[in-house]
């Protein structure tokens, strides 16, 4: 049983943790090439999303056997299809909205550490009214290395003046678990996200399927 207590600093991943963005991204791929469904490997695409939207869309184009000479134009068109028609189809995981609000009201300092690009991250946070909840945000390209390198997470913690061992990182994938381990930050694993097996989320201090369970656990493990 984990009896450690944590400061009121929590860093969250976005895709697969707070927002279920996979269905909208997959729908964008199908809209881009409606004949290509039989060639797609949804499980592989879903896992690749943890590396960021760009790698996931690039893999989709390779699975669709698109002409390499037209790869740049295809990627641009697919990205535009997603951003223009499907971006705001993302859905908050059940309980995530209430949990963020409760933590914010309780005085927790919340940060975001994501492999999503800054522009679409901002668009989604604005759309759901979440921007005010996060004191700091580190997105893809904000630092030299992306997750699972520790730099993005350590940068977010530095902005919050919080030692790695005192914070908590909440994510859903092996990329997130590795990032937390590399940064020596305790990791809380969302089981509803984008991983193949629960062992992908090790090492973690706790797992949860619903954010009400996470909020309750946080209440029991906060520093006085």
The 10s digit of each residue's pLDDT in 68-117 is 778 889 999 999 999 999 999 999 999 999 999 999 999 999 999 999 99
What are 24's two structure tokens?
Answer: 């909208």
What pLDDT score does 171 carry? Answer: 98
Give the C-alpha separation, 79 to 95, whole Å: 29
Please write the tens of the pLDDT for every residue from 13-51.
999 999 999 999 999 999 999 888 889 999 999 999 988
What pLDDT score does 206 carry? Answer: 97
Q: How far is CA 183 from the centre of its chain?
A: 17
| pLDDT interval class at 5 (50, 70, 90) | confident
Count other Cβ atoms within 10 Å, centred on residue 217. 17
pTM: 0.94
CATH level 2 (architecture), domain 9-20+90-220: 3-Layer(aba) Sandwich (3.40)
Please write the tens of the pLDDT for every residue from 151-180.
999 999 999 999 999 999 999 999 999 999
What pLDDT score does 2 carry? Answer: 67
Domain segments of the chain as ranges: 9-20+90-220, 22-89
User: Is the model's pLDDT at 9 over the cut of 70?
Assistant: yes
């Amino acid at each position: 049983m984990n009896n450690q207590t944590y400061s009121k600093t929590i860093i969250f991943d976005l895709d697969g943790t707070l927002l279920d963005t996979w269905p909208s991204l997959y729908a964008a791929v199908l809209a881009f090439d409606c004949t290509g469904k039989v060639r797609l490997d949804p499980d592989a695409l879903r896992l690749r999303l943890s590396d960021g939207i760009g790698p996931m869309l690039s893999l989709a184009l390779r699975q669709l056997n698109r002409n390499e000479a037209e790869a740049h134009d295809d990627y641009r068109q697919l990205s535009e299809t997603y951003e223009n028609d499907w971006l705001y189809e993302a859905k908050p995981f059940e309980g995530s909205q209430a949990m963020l609000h409760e933590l914010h009201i309780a005085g927790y300092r919340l940060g975001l550490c994501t492999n999503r690009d800054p522009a679409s991250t901002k668009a989604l946070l604005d759309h759901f009214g979440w921007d005010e909840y996060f004191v700091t945000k580190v997105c893809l390209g904000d630092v030299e290395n992306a997750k699972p390198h520790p730099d993005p997470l350590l940068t977010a913690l530095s902005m919050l003046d919080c030692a790695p061992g005192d914070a908590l990182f909440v994510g859903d994938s092996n990329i997130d678990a590795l990032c937390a381990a590399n940064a020596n930050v305790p990791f809380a694993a969302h089981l509803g996200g984008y991983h193949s097996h629960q062992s992908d989320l090790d090492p973690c201090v706790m797992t949860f399927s619903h954010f009400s369970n996470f909020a309750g656990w946080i209440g029991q493990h906060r520093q006085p």
